[in-house]
Structures are given as structure tokens and as C-alpha cells.
Amino acid sequence: MKVHITNLYGQSPLSVALMAQNMVADIAKKLDIKEIGIYSFNADGESVENLAIRFDGMNAAVGNGDVIIFQAPSWNGTHFDHEYIKRLKIYAGIKIVIFIHDIPPLMFSSNFYLMEKTIEMYNMADLIIAPSQKMLDLLYQHGLRVTNTLLQNMWDHKTDIWLEKPAFHRVVNFTGNPQRFHFVDDWQFATPLNLFAPEYYPTKPNNVAYQGWKYSLSLLQELNKNGGFGLVWSQGEDAEYYNLNVSYKLSTYIAAGLPVIAPRSLSNAHYISEYKLGFLVDSLEEANAIVSTITEEEYRSLLDSLWNFRELITKGYFAQKLLTDAVHQVMI
């Protein structure tokens, strides 16, 4: 019996979806899990016959009785993902784990018509790894029948970079495109907002300090140098999805050594409160008030709590445990 995991290639190196899949696959290799590469392309117009030929090439090392961990979605379209899981079923005794990173029909209302087919694909799995209990409950409401499940709850952000504990500054850091996160342009608080984004053209006066676009090690270093807090925030449809999914930027801030400020409705908010990783708030006004009044002693206390948790994230222990538990649950 061998264990395999799918891994995405061909997207922009700035793609968070690509980073997340590559990181999980890299952690999986250390557990002797073999990689199945998936190149990014638009497969919506591909015939089932052509896809089958492609899949057989991808699955050349797959055998009867193996375990496949499919990182979903592939971002090649629901048609591609659905047909790939169907194709895996030709192997006798195969065990299929679907590790849900994102659900496009829930991310974008214009894609909700794909929900039925997405659930149909999930129901072919032997085990589902869902981001959160809230997400799992919603999937059951939409027809999910798989009862063998695990919850992810937290992303890793693997890095070997050595960082000092950050300085105490009354600032908030945010990574994200202001065209998607409109609260950035409205930031009028006394607390400065350090923005990391591909580009930013403010439409009104505000207290935003544009930091340019950084990623990987340079982002962690800049966040750590800025000190203060990392902000997880969203609005509209994004806010509803954040309540269900696991925020990758949350782990990025923790990996940079920053305490976080996040909405109470965040799917894994209990981690922040239980392990004293920062503050949960109901509004940006509340966030500003916290940063304006916190003492350096209180900030240092947060760093002490956060630093041990940071070790788990930067060493990949969340994914290691999740992947190991998944193999155990489908085999026993």
C-alpha cells in the first residue's frame, strides 16, 4: 500500500492556493507520501475520454489498495475534479481522502450552481477533511453523506527563518488586495494600517501606509520588523466565507511572530482565545481601541503565549498530524 497526494503546478507564484497545496505536499513527502502533480489549465471543454488519458498518466504510480489524498479543488474546474475522482475508482480497494482547501460554489455566488456536482464528488470519498465544523455542517445540509471526517482548523506556514520577537508598536498589519477588502480605503483610525498588496491607489485620505507586495520570507521579515498586530478581516460575501473556511493569512501572521486581531465569527476563533494568540473583536472600531490602549507588558505576554504555537505552525505539525490521522482513519 502506498499513499499519494495531489499537488498543483502552473499557477502564479503569488497564488495562495498554489502556496498552500505545495506546502502540504512538501510536508507529506516527509511522511513518505508520493506526489501526483496536477498542472493548472482550463479543463471545462475537455472530453471525458481526453481527461481519462491525462488521468492515467498522472496516476502511473497508483496501484490497487493505495490511498489518494486529493487536495480540492484542483482549480481546473469542477468537471476535472469530478472526473478525476471517478477515474480513481477503477483501482480495486483504493481509499480516497478529499482534503478541502476551498469550495468555489461557496466562495462566489455566481458559482453556486456547481454545488450539487461538488457534493456528488465529495460523496465518492472515503474520508473528508473539512476546514471547520461550521463548513462540515453546511455540507451536510447540502447533501454530503460521508460520515468519516476530520477537521483541519489551522493552516501551517512552514519556514526555517529565525525571527526575534517583534517590537511593541501601536500598528496593525494587513495583507490583501484593497479592491477586494474595501475597508482598507475607509481606514480613518488613529492606529496606522500597514498594507501589503500588489498595488494600492487610495481614493480618499486615510491612515494607510502602503508597504508594497511581499511574499514568502520577505513578507514574514517585513511583518516581524513592523511589529504590532496582524489583522484578519473581511466584508460582505467574504465575511460569510471566512466564518466557514480557514484563513491562511492567520497562520502567516503567527509565523511572523505577530499577535492577531480577528472577528469573533472566524471559523477557528477558538484557537485565538484558547491559546492567547491575540484578540477577537466585533468591529474595526474595537480593534483600534485595543491597539490604542494595550500596554507593552500585555503585548509581551501575548508574544510568550504565541511563540510556542508558532513552532507548531512553522514546523508543519498541523498538516503532519492531519495527514497521518487521515491515513489511519481510512485504513482501520
Summarised one tens digit per residue, pLDDT across range 68-121 is: 999 999 999 999 999 999 999 999 999 999 999 999 999 988 999 999 999 999
CA–CA separation, 56 vs 79, rounded Å?
Answer: 16
Strand partners, 48: none
Residue 6's CB is within 10 A of a number of other CB atoms, namely 21
158 marked as part of a ligand binding site: no
Q: At what angle do helices 216-226 and 248-255 cross, to 10 degrees?
A: 60
Stretch 170-195: mean pLDDT: 95
Residue ranges of domains in the chain, CATH in brackets: 3-156+316-330 (3.40.50.2000), 172-315 (3.40.50.2000)
Q: Decide which of 155 and 243 is more confident.
A: 155
Beta-strand (E) ranges in the chain? 3-9, 34-39, 67-72, 95-100, 127-130, 149-151, 172-175, 193-196, 208-210, 229-231, 260-263, 278-281
Rounded to whole angstroms, the Cα distance separating 198 from 24 reads 25
Segment 40-61 mean pLDDT: 95
Specify whether the CB–CB gap between 67 and 327 falls below 8 A: yes
Burial class of residue 122 (count of CB atoms within 10 Å of its CB; 0-12, 13-18, 19+): buried
What is the pTM for the complete model shown?
0.95
pLDDT at 163 over 80: yes
Is residue 248 part of an annotated ligand binding site? yes
- Judge whether 249 is annotated as a binding position: yes
The DSSP symbol for 114 reads G
251 is an annotated ligand-binding site residue: yes
Amino acid, single-letter form, for residue 18: L
Q: CA triplet 271, 144, 78: central angle to 5 degrees? A: 95
2 is in an annotated binding site: no
What is the pLDDT, as a whole number, of residue 324? 98
| Pairing state between β 149-151 and 127-130 | parallel
CA distances 205 to 186, 191, 233, Å, are 8, 14, 21
Residue 97 Cα to chain centre, angstroms: 17
Question: Letter for the amino acid at 149?
Answer: T
Q: What is the pLDDT of residues 205-233, one digit of tens each?
A: 999 999 999 988 999 999 999 999 999 99
Q: Is 252 annotated as a binding residue?
A: yes
Residue 153's nearest CA partner among 274, 68, 32 is 274
Q: CA dihedral defined by 199, 277, 284, 263, rounded to 10 degrees?
A: 100
d(CA 117, CA 105): 10
Look at residue 237 in the predicted model and tell me its pLDDT: 65
Placement of cell 480513481 in the chain? 88
pLDDT band at 33 (very low <50, low <70, confident <90, very high): very high
Q: Calculate the average pLDDT of the chain.
A: 96
pLDDT for position 240: 86
pLDDT value of position 242: 84
**165 assigned to a ligand binding site:** no
CB neighbours of residue 145 within 10 Å: 10
pLDDT, tens digit, for every residue of 246-296? Answer: 999 999 999 999 999 999 999 999 999 999 999 999 999 999 999 999 999
Contacts of 236 (CB under 8 A, 6+ apart): none
Residue 164 is classified by DSSP as: P
